Amino acid sequence: ADEIGVKPDFRTELSHESGERRLDASAALETDIDDDSGHGRLVEQTPSGSEIRSEARDEREFTRTASLNAEYRVPAGGGELVANANVARERTLERILSGEDDDLRLARSRERLWTGEASGQYRATVTGGDLEALVVQRIGRLRARDEEEDESFTEATRTSETIARAEYRRGSDRLRLFGSLEGTRNRLTSDAELVIGGEPVPIKGSDVNVIERRAETAFGAIWKPAASFIVEPTMRAEVSTIRSTGDSRSREHFLFWKPRLRLSWDRDSRRIQMTVEREAAQLDFGDFVASAELDRDDVVAGATALRPPTTWSFSTTFEQRFWKNGALLLTFRREWIDDVIDEVLIDDDGKLFDAVGNIGKGTRRVLKAELTVPFERVGISGMQLKALLTFIKSRVTDPITGMRRIISEDRPFEGEINLNHDLPGGRWSWGAEASLAHREREFRFDEARLERKGTGFGAHIEFRPHPSWRLGLEGENIGSRSLVETRRKFDGTRASRVLNSIEARRLRTAPIVTFSLRKAFGAAAD
């Protein structure tokens, strides 16, 4: 059950219309293979280069998801009511085999996640304006177990989210005003347990109950003083309360003012947009829960208290369109962040653990370039190249060393290049993709980690023998992709600067091949 091997996928979709009523439904069974799965070695050395240990590793992880979705549209009260419902079950299995032939260790991780959502959205014209109302209810149930030899970590988590929102817009093409009101209630309850050698190990975040109540109101306008110029001022106010009980108790109240001003100029083939705004991020409640990766001796305590990071930002976008469907899009964004969320050190009854926490002020600069090039101008019909490149430079003060560094998990560079070609006749198409090499850092209280991934290549081909039939073949990680994770382990905290050992995990990721067969029935086949 832990092998990846051959995994059949299935998806069926149904659409039915009767007058102004429409029903869309689908059922799917899908497999997502972690592209970090592969085999290689883990080597740990002293700072002088002497080998402490060396072992082979084989890591496999995949997720099987079964889902049902339905959407129903019906006229109601002079408007339209859209009802949605979906339920899904995700089952994730990870198996790590490490060691040598005469001394192999097996680590397993299993997760079962049930999610459900029901929503209703109503749109209508009321007193000359457009009204949109939305109600959403989401629930989740997670059961997880991680085990290696005489160690185990279990987690049982329940989540719920209720959202109610209403927005009203009114005006003309020249000036349009809008206002909205939204209320949200989030809740997470979790029980986790770490057991080593048959004895439970207390850790913050093992018994968690977090409730958030949040309300937001917004007022704004879309003003068009000239045909090519748009001004969009908006003011939002958010008030929230986050209460945590269990082994960590806290109660926080927040009020955030979130203004935004956006200016857009669009003329002929050129567009320029500038935005100044203040944002408040939404917390990930999973940060309050303890977690473990036992095969790496990695235990993270749950956050004792968190403040949502707030960001003042300035961004500008330049777009140049060419060759009918071609475009170059450049975006620069500058951020000033308060209450950056990163790794912190907590002392739990004399035991030191990493945890998620706020570490103060930070900055981030982002440059993004997007390019779309059609090849009709050079005589190749149906071929298109797309490239996306992102550069990030961030800085924050490390809470352990007091030195300036990058924000954990920010990638200084990442990029994708995609080439697609629809051949004349409409029966064949093919393409190739490249996910460019990147790296990211993470800072624990006693470790500095660097993960580097090499460039990964993929390709696909599709054949349509009939408008209702599609046959596809897709390959990912063609030629394998390198993954190197380096952990610099210190004696005590990183502030000591006394290096204890250097551990390097080197893997070659496994290729993934997918064959698909699709058949359309009824009107969709015409």
Contact 80, 72 (CB under 8 A): no
Q: How many CA atoms lie within 13 A of 363 on its CB side?
A: 6
* Tokens 């204890």 belong to residue: 500
State how far the Cα of 366 lies from the Cα of 391, in Å rounded to an integer: 6
The answer on pLDDT for 522 being more than 80 is no
The answer on pLDDT for 105 being more than 90 is no
Q: What is the mean pLDDT of the chain?
A: 92
481-503, pLDDT tens digit by residue?
899 999 999 998 999 999 999 99
Q: What is the mean pLDDT of residues 447-455?
A: 94
353-391, pLDDT tens digit by residue?
889 999 999 999 999 999 999 998 888 899 999 999 999
Tokens of 135: 């109600």
Question: Angle at CA 140, nearest 5°, toward 139 and 146?
Answer: 170
Cβ atoms within 10 A of the Cβ of 442, count? 16
Q: What is the mean pLDDT of residues 162-177?
A: 95
Bridge partners of residue 404, in order along the sequence: 397
The answer on pLDDT for 115 being more than 70 is yes
State how far the Cα of 77 lies from the Cα of 165, in Å rounded to an integer: 19
Q: What is the mean pLDDT of residues 415-428?
A: 94
DSSP output for 152-190 = EEEEEEEEEEEEEEEEEEEE-SSEEEEEEEEEEEEEEEE
Contact 290, 192 (CB under 8 A): yes
pTM of the model: 0.90
Range scoring the smallest mean pLDDT among 141-150, 289-298, 400-409: 289-298
pLDDT for the residue 2: 44
Confidence of residue 181 (pLDDT cuts 50, 70, 90): very high
State how far the Cα of 53 lies from the Cα of 206, in Å rounded to an integer: 32
pLDDT for the residue 334: 98
Question: DSSP class of residue 149?
Answer: T
271-282, pLDDT tens digit by residue?
999 999 999 999
Contact 331, 314 (CB under 8 A): no
With a pLDDT cut of 70, the percent of the chain lying above it is 98
Contact 259, 225 (CB under 8 A): no
Residue 34 Cα distances to 7, 63, 449, angstroms:
13, 8, 20
